[in-house]
Structure 1
Amino acid sequence: MFPFIGEGGGYYYYIIVGLQIFCGYHAYQRGNLQRWIWLIVFLPVIGSAIYLFSEVFSGQRMRGPKIDVGAIINPGAKIKKLEDDLRFTDTFANRIKLADAYLASGQTDKAVELYETSLTGTFADNEHALSQLMTGYYNQNRYEDAIAIANKINRSQKFPKSKAHMLYAMALENTGQTELAEKEFKAMKGRYSCFEQRYQYGLFLKRAARYDDAHRIFTEIIDEVPHLGPIEKKTGREWFGKSREQLKAIANESVNK
C-alpha cells in the first residue's frame, strides 16, 4: 500500500506509515485529500513533510503560496495541461500562465514568443507579462530589449524591490552603463530584505575589483541572518549561502596576492 518503504525499517517504518496516515486523515478532514494523496503516498517522507509544513504547522498567518503537487511529481504534466487549456480556450490569462511555465522550466524562447504575441491591444501594458518578458530577454542576452521594457514599468510601485529592477541594473552593466547600474543597485539596498538584489550588487562590486566594498555587502547580508524570522531565513537561504562562499573567495584571493 505504501511504496518505497522497506519491510525491514523497524520503528522507522511504523513512524513513516503513521505519518502518512495522519497526513491523509488530516487532508481528508480538510477536504484536500485528492490534492495531496499522491504526494503523500509516492513520496512518503518528503511528501508528508511538505504537507505538515504547508497545512499543519504554517497556520494562516505564515502561509505562503500553495504548493503545486502535480508539478512536483511530474513537472511536464503541468505544461501539457496548460498547453491543452490554451488550445481549448485562447485567452490572455491562459497564454500568460503557459508562458510563465515555459520560463520557469527554462524554455525561454517559447516563453518570449508567447509573451510577445500576447502583449497587444488592451493587454499591451500588463505589468506582470512585461516583467516576465524582461526576464526572458535578459536570459537571451538581449540586454537592450530588457532595458527598454524596464523603462516602461519603472514607475510601478512594485518595481523598486522587484526582480525586474535587479535585472535592469544587471542589463545596464552588461551594456557598459556601469554608473547607472550602480545607481540602480544602490536603490535596492535595504536592511533585512532584497537579499538576491544585494548579493548581485556584491558581485557587481567584485567584478569591478572593489573587493572591500563587496566584502562589506556580503558581510552585511550574513550579519542580518540571526535577526530574521523563519520565513525570511527560508526565502533568503540561497543568497546567504552564496554570500558566505563569496566571502571565502575574497579571503582566498587576498591571501594569494
Structure 2
Amino acid sequence: MPVAIVVLLLDITLIWHASKTGRLQPWAFIILMIPFVGALAYIVVELIPEWFGSPGAQQARKRVAERLDPEKRYRELCERLAGTDTIANREVLAAECLKVGRFDEAERHYDHVLTLPMGKEPAYALGKAQAQFGLNRPADVLATLDDLKQHWPDFESAEGHLLYARALAEVGRVDEALDEYHALVAYFPGAEAKVRYGMLLSMTGRTAEARIVFNELLLSMRRAPKYLRDAQAEWLSIAEKQLSA
C-alpha cells in the first residue's frame, strides 16, 4: 500500500477519534494541514498520556511489572520495615507475603503484631489464618478463626467465613462445611463461594443440588454488568465446566 494512502488513513482515523472524544478543534486542522506530523503530534500529546494515565493502563503496567519481578514490592516493604518497625509496616508486609506465597513469613509477622498492645485486631488474626491455610494447616485455621470469633464476636468478614468453610471441608467436616457455605452464599460478593459450594455438593453426591447452584449463578451473572462478569470470569468458567461434566 502506498505510503500516502497509509498516512491518509491514519489522519482520517485520528480525526474520527478526535471528534468522538471532543478534541476536534484544533486537532482536525493540525492533522489536515500537516499530514503525518500532525498525526504524530496528536498521538504524542493526546493518546500516549491517555493510554499510560488511565486506570486501565496503570493496572496493565502493574500486572506486567508484577510478572517480570513479582517480589519487587516485597523487597521494598522489607526495607521499609527494617527502617521503621511499626504495626502498619509489618502488617502491609505480611499481606504482601500472603500475595507472593511466603506463608511462613506472613504467619510470623501476624503473630508478632498480635502480641503487641495495639496489635490485637481481628483483621490480623484473619491474616494469620490465611497464612495457615496457605501452609496447608486447616486445623490451625479453624483454631485461629474460632479464637477470633471468641475474642471479637461482632467481627464480620465474608472472606473469613469462606476460609472457615474451606478449612472445615479440608479436615473432613463436610456437613458442617456445607452448612457454612449455605449461609455464606446468601451474602458473599462474587461467584467464588457459590462455585465452591456447588463443587462440594457434587463431591458428596448431591449433584442435582449442585446443578441448581451453578445454574442460578450463571443465570444471575448473565444479567450482571459486563465488568462484573469479567471480574468473575474464572469462577463462571468453572461453573460452566461443572455443568457440562
TM-score, structure 1 length as denominator? 0.69
Aligned residues between the structures: 206
Is 1:22 matched up with 2:46? Answer: yes
Paired residues for 1:3-152 under 5 Å: 21-26=45-50, 48=51, 51-54=53-56, 67=59, 72-73=64-65, 74-152=69-147
Structure 1 residues 85, 108: closer, same or farther in 2, change over 3 A?
same
SS at match of 2:54: helix
Structure 1 equivalent of residue 166 of structure 2: 170
**Partner deviation per Cα, 1:71-104 (whole Å, 9 max, x = no partner):** 7413322111101100000011111111111110
Q: Which runs of 5+ in 2 are unaligned?
A: 1-5, 15-39
Structure 1 residues 88, 53: closer, same or farther in 2, change over 3 A?
closer
**Partner deviation per Cα, 1:219-255 (whole Å, 9 max, x = no partner):** 1111111211234223222111111111112xxxxxx
Q: Which runs of 5+ in 1 are unaligned?
A: 1-8, 27-47, 56-65, 250-257
Q: Distance in 2 between matches of 1:52 and 1:190?
A: 35
Does the CA-based 8 Å contact 2:198-2:210 persist in structure 1?
Answer: yes
Structure 1 equivalent of residue 226 of structure 2: 230
Structure 2 equivalent of residue 196 of structure 1: 192
- Give the drift of 1:152: 3.5
Structure 1 residues 94, 184: closer, same or farther in 2, change over 3 A?
same
Larger Rg: 2
Which of 137, 156, 159 is residue 158 of structure 1 equivalent to?
A: 156
Structure 2 equivalent of residue 30 of structure 1: none
Runs (4+) of structure 1 moved beyond 3 Å? 9-12, 17-21, 23-26, 50-55, 66-72, 152-158, 191-194
Deviates most, 67-76 or 119-128? 67-76
TM-score, structure 2 length as denominator? 0.72
Structure 1 residues 113, 69: closer, same or farther in 2, change over 3 A?
farther
User: What is the aligned-residue identity percentage?
Assistant: 22
Q: Distance in 2 between matches of 1:184 and 1:70?
A: 36
Q: Distance in 2 between matches of 1:19 and 1:236?
A: 34
Structure 1 residues 68, 248: closer, same or farther in 2, change over 3 A?
closer
SS at match of 2:139: helix
Structure 1 residues 193, 224: closer, same or farther in 2, change over 3 A?
farther
Q: Distance in 2 between matches of 1:243 and 1:222?
A: 8
One-letter amino acid of the counterpart of residue 158, structure 1:
E
One-letter amino acid of the counterpart of residue 164, structure 1:
G
Structure 1 residues 19, 244: closer, same or farther in 2, change over 3 A?
farther
